[in-house]
Structures are given as C-alpha cells and as structure tokens.
Amino acid sequence: MGETLNSSKKAENPEEAVSPTGASDPHQQVQDLVEELKLRSAELEAANRELRRVSHYRSLFLARMSHELRTPLTSILGFTEILLDQEMLTETQQRFCKKIQDSGLQLQTSLNQLVDLSRVEGGQTEVFLQEFSLADTVSESCRALDRFAHVRQVALDYEVGPNGVTVVTDRGKLRQILYNFLAFALSRSAAEQRVSLQADVTSDTQLRLQIDDCGPPVADLARVFDPDDKPGAREPDINELGILIGHRLLEVLSGSVTLQNRDEGGLRILMELPARPAKA
C-alpha cells in the first residue's frame, strides 16, 4: 500500500523525476554544447589571428631577406662572370671562379624558390594573361638550363608543335614551371643521358607538356608532391623543392601533372593546362 502511494507521489511531481538512465535535462545538455562550441570557436579565431600574424611577419622577413641577399649576390655573380671572361686566368683560377659561380647560382635559385613558395602559400599569386609564342618560351626555358645540363653532361633537347602556335596564359609562371621540372629531370640523370621535352597544343585547346628523363624509377610516385613530414624524414633537395613550387603554380594556372615510370627506364612528367582562357 505504501509503495502504491509513493508511486503516485512521484507521478504528481515529474520535474523532480530522474530518468532511468540517470541522464540530465536535454535542454541543459544543448546549452552546455552551445557554450562549449562558443569557447572552441573563440579559441580557433585566436589561433587564426596568430597564424595570420606569423604569416605577415614571415612575408616581411622574406621580402627583406630577399632584398638584402639579392643585391650582393648579383654583384658576386657579375664580377665572377667578368673574371671568367679574362683569358689570363690560370686553369686553377678558372676552376675556382666557376665554383663560385655555380655556388652563387645555386644560392640564387634557392632564394628565388623560397620567396616563390612563400608567395604561393600566402595566396599572393596573380595571373597575368598574355598571348605569346610557345616555341620561343620553350626555347628560353631550355637555354636557361644550358649551363646546368653542360655541368651534368646531360643532353637536353625539345620539340614544339606546329611553328607559330601561340598560347594565352601567364608566360612568367609557365617559364618557371618548365624550368623547375626540367631542372628536376636533369638532376635525376647521369652523365651521357638525355632529357627531352615535347610541347604542343591539342585539339581541345589544352597545352600539353611532356618531359622524359633516363633516371632511376621512383618508388612511390604518390609521395613526390606530398613529401613525408614525419620526424627524421629526408628533407627535399633544391630540385625537389622546385617541382613542389611548379606543381603549385600549375594549380594556379588550372593545370595538372602526372608522373609515370617509363617501361624503357626513366621518369615521364605529363603536364596539361589551358592553352587559352575558357570562354564565358
């Protein structure tokens, strides 16, 4: 009888009841979740502000460093070139001057890539469209690597589609893409080997670039543009950093790149990007 009365008493006061599972009021749970979400959002916003601040200071540092290093480096390379043109230098002196020149060019390349990578990561990449000759641009990019190819004793040749073909894209970025990927192919090749470039505009208005080298096969093609960031992992070298930048620049130009290990040996780099802006 007492149990029946107690049971009736609980039914008359539902707000004092406790659920069988011991759960709290669902409205209170929602409020707690909302408060936690507000707290997390505030923490995330603070973290984003700090990242923007660090990115800003990094950009300022790179801009200052670029200016401070480029000026003396340009003088070093210029005077080295003058010295190398002098016929009275001994063979040993010429060898030393070439070593200075090669080291200076490598430092200049590293500096340019560092600044370029910072700009790409910071979203500071504007696209300047212009119409230009594909053959001229390919020729300029290959000539810029003549000395590097000569030092490595690797032949570099190229073939361009029909004479007079033009494209409309960012010429400076395309030239840098070609330079970076060609330098990577040359760095993979041994003496007496060959690197070839084929460039053409396909019927569907796509610019197609193909670079073939004779270097060793790549064990994990998927990791080339996604290097391992685990502690102790090998850092990418200067030419591997170059193709990371080239890959990002291709994305800026709405392009793509595919890597293939060739059956006959070596690596094939296939790049495609719009030869002209898409019509609205």
Residues 6+ apart with CB under 8 A from 92: none
pLDDT computed for residue 207 by the predictor:
95
Question: How many degrees, rounded to 5, is the angle at CA 191 between CA 248 and CA 145?
Answer: 40
| Res 182: pLDDT | 94
Q: How far is CA 76 from CA 17, 130, 168, 263, in A?
A: 85, 34, 37, 44
Domains of the chain, first to last: 46-121 (1.10.287), 130-274 (3.30.565.10)
Per run of 10 residues, the mean pLDDT along the chain (length 280 residues) is 44 48 71 87 84 68 69 86 84 88 77 70 76 93 88 92 87 90 92 94 89 90 71 53 86 92 92 85
What is the pLDDT at residue 99? 85
Residues paired with 211 in a beta bridge: 197, 269
Give the pLDDT score at 11. Answer: 45
Tell me which residue of 195, 205, 212 sits closest to 165, measured CA to CA: 205
Please give the pLDDT value at position 73. 85
* Encoded amino acid at 43, one letter: E
Query: Among positive and negative, which fits the CA dihedral 200, 208, 110, 152?
Result: negative
Q: How confident is the model at residue 234, as a pLDDT?
A: 47
DSSP the chain: -HHHHHHHHHHH-GGG---TT----HHHHHHHHHHHHHHHHHHHHHHHHHHHHHHHHHHHHHHHHHHHHHHHHHHHHHHHHHHHT-TT--HHHHHHHHHHHHHHHHHHHHHHHHHHHHHHHTT------EEEEHHHHHHHHHHTTHHHHHHHT-EEEEEESSTT-EEEE-HHHHHHHHHHHHHHHHHHPPTT-EEEEEEEE-TTSEEEEEEE--SPPPS-GGGTTS---STTPPPP-HHHHHHHHHHHHHHHTT-EEEEEE-TTSSEEEEEEEESSPPP-
Give residue 23's pLDDT. 52
Q: What are the structure tokens assigned to 202, written together?
A: 């396909």
Q: How far apart are CA 173 and CA 141, in angstroms?
A: 11
